[in-house]
């Protein structure tokens, strides 16, 4: 049986409402400019009290949006289960204040129906996610990646059925390029499906959405963009400048971020140079890295991860200071260009 606690959300959580929330494209939904993802640190072996501290710190500071996927863990499903436990114990009274998203599209269960983008996979996966999270509906359900084989009509019709059945309020797509997103949006429009958001990686170190047409498509279609790994999984901080700290992602869960990538001397030199610019702006490097993503009017939210509650508080310091001078942007671009070749070979997710 669950033990019910007595979490009371801070009464000041919406004090910064005017600066914290932004409309998601042309939709009616406003998202916090900083959202929290549960990809790491919510697995079956992670510390449950820390998970609670992360979620409560976020919500107490006005972060209303929590992002999951069917296979976040490890083990697959564990992040949804842990979130579901916290929800059931403590967050249930706040359901109407929360935007909870999940996804399906990557490997989830064995056999031909536990991956990619078929109607069979998406609908059954969301049913399982809802059970794990103790929810009747999610706020956003995403197709997690492009499927080269399943017709896009089938995937979009599955999202449409999911929304019409009340199991999701809005639909989204993740890791789509501009061309596929444009096509998805066209089909969604015909169906009157609220396909309102793209979830893609974007950071000082990863400019893919500028190059593959996604950003341009989102603007043209009035869709929002929420950017994952805006800190390049923690590389855009000081933490790896002097080795690999024992409590870092590389040391604790290096499935997608490897030691040999974070200790490259050219990259460390670039990170030091970025840190200098951040210092001149009166920001920490993570704050500047988040500001760099949010400087763009097309971007709705940065989707951060955190291993410690203090990181969330530090990162929220970005809100209200997302303007850059032309000179600062040029200096950041020059640093990026100096290691761009190195970065291209190390995109893991």
Ligand X SMILES: NC(=O)c1ccc[n+]([C@@H]2O[C@H](COP(=O)([O-])OP(=O)(O)OC[C@H]3O[C@@H](n4cnc5c(N)ncnc54)[C@H](OP(=O)(O)O)[C@@H]3O)[C@@H](O)[C@H]2O)c1
Q: Which parts of this chain interact with ligand X (CB under 6 A)?
A: 37-40, 67, 144, 174-175, 199, 228-234, 237, 239, 248-249, 286, 303-307, 311, 314-315, 349
CB of 288 to ligand X, least distance (A): 11
> What phi and psi values does residue 14 have, to the nearest 5 degrees?
-110, 20
CB 248 to ligand X: min, Å: 4
As a whole number of angstroms, the distance between CA 249 and CA 251 comes to 5
- Smallest separation (angstroms) from ligand X to the CB of 128: 18
**Rounded distance between C-alpha atoms, residue 15 and residue 19, angstroms:** 9
262 exposed, middle or buried (CB, 10 Å; 0-12, 13-18, 19+)?
buried
Nearer to ligand X, 71 or 118 (CB): 71
HSE-up of 141 (CA within 13 Å, CB side)? 32
The residue (of 38 and 140) whose beta carbon lies closer to ligand X is: 38
Give the nearest distance from C-beta 239 to ligand X in angstroms: 5
Nearer residue to ligand X within complex by CB, 154 or 314? 314
**Least distance from ligand X to the Cβ atom of residue 11, Å:** 26
In the complex with ligand X, which residue's Cβ is closer, 165 or 349?
A: 349
State the nearest-atom distance from the C-beta of 327 to ligand X, in Å.
Answer: 25
| Alpha-carbon gap, residue 64 to 61, rounded angstroms | 9
Nearer to ligand X, 40 or 85 (CB): 40
Q: How far is the C-alpha of 323 from the C-alpha of 294, rounded, in Å?
A: 9
Name the minimum Å distance from CB 4 to ligand X.
27
Handedness of CA 318, 320, 322, 326 (dihedral sign): negative
What is the distance, to the nearest Å, from the Cα of residue 66 to the centroid of all Cα atoms in its chain? 8
The answer to whether 224 and 197 have CB atoms below 8 angstroms apart is yes
Q: Exposed, middle or buried, 27 (CB in 10 Å: 0-12/13-18/19+)?
A: middle
Strands 224-228 and 301-304: parallel
- Tell me how far apart the terminal alpha carbons of the chain are, to the nearest angstrom: 36
Report, in Å, the least distance between residue 16 CB and ligand X.
Answer: 18
- Residue (150 or 198) nearer to ligand X, CB: 198
Q: Which is nearer to ligand X, 237 or 322 (CB)?
A: 237
Where does 34-112 have alpha helices with state H? 48-60, 78-86
- In the bound state with ligand X, the residue whose beta carbon lies nearer, of 164 and 295, is 295
Task: Indicate the helix (H) or strand (E) that contains 328.
Answer: helix 326-344
């Amino acid at each position: 049986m669950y033990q019910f606690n007595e979490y009371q959300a801070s009464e000041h959580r919406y004090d910064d409402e005017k600066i914290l929330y932004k409309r998601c494209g042309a939709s009616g939904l406003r998202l916090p400019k900083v959202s929290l993802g549960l990809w790491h640190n919510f697995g079956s072996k992670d510390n449950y009290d820390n998970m609670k501290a992360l979620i409560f710190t976020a919500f107490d500071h006005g972060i209303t949006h929590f992002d999951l996927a069917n296979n976040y863990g490890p083990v697959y499903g564990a992040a949804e289960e842990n979130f579901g436990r916290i929800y059931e114990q403590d967050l249930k009274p706040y359901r109407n204040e929360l935007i909870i998203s999940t996804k399906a599209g990557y490997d989830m269960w064995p056999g031909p129906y536990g991956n990619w983008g078929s109607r069979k996979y998406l609908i059954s996966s969301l049913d399982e996610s809802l059970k794990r999270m103790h929810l009747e509906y999610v706020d956003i359900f995403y197709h997690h990646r492009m499927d080269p084989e399943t017709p896009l009509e089938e995937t979009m019709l599955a999202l449409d059925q999911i929304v019409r059945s009340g199991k999701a309020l809005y639909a989204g797509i993740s890791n789509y390029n501009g061309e596929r997103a444009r096509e998805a949006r066209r089909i969604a429009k015909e169906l009157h499906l609220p396909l309102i958001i793209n979830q893609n990686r974007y950071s000082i170190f990863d400019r893919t959405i500028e190059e593959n047409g996604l950003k341009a498509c989102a603007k043209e279609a009035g869709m929002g963009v929420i950017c994952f790994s805006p800190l390049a999984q923690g590389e855009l901080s000081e933490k790896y400048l002097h080795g690999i700290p024992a409590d870092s992602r590389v040391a604790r869960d290096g499935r997608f971020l490897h030691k040999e990538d974070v200790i490259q001397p050219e990259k460390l030199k670039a990170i030091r140079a970025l840190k200098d610019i951040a210092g001149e702006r009166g920001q920490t490097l993570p704050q500047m890295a988040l500001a760099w993503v949010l400087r763009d009017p097309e971007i709705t939210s940065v989707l951060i991860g955190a291993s410690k509650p203090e990181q969330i508080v530090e990162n929220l310091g970005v809100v209200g200071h997302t303007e850059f001078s032309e000179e600062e942007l040029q200096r950041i671009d020059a640093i990026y260009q100096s290691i761009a070749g190195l970065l291209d070979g190390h995109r893991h997710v």
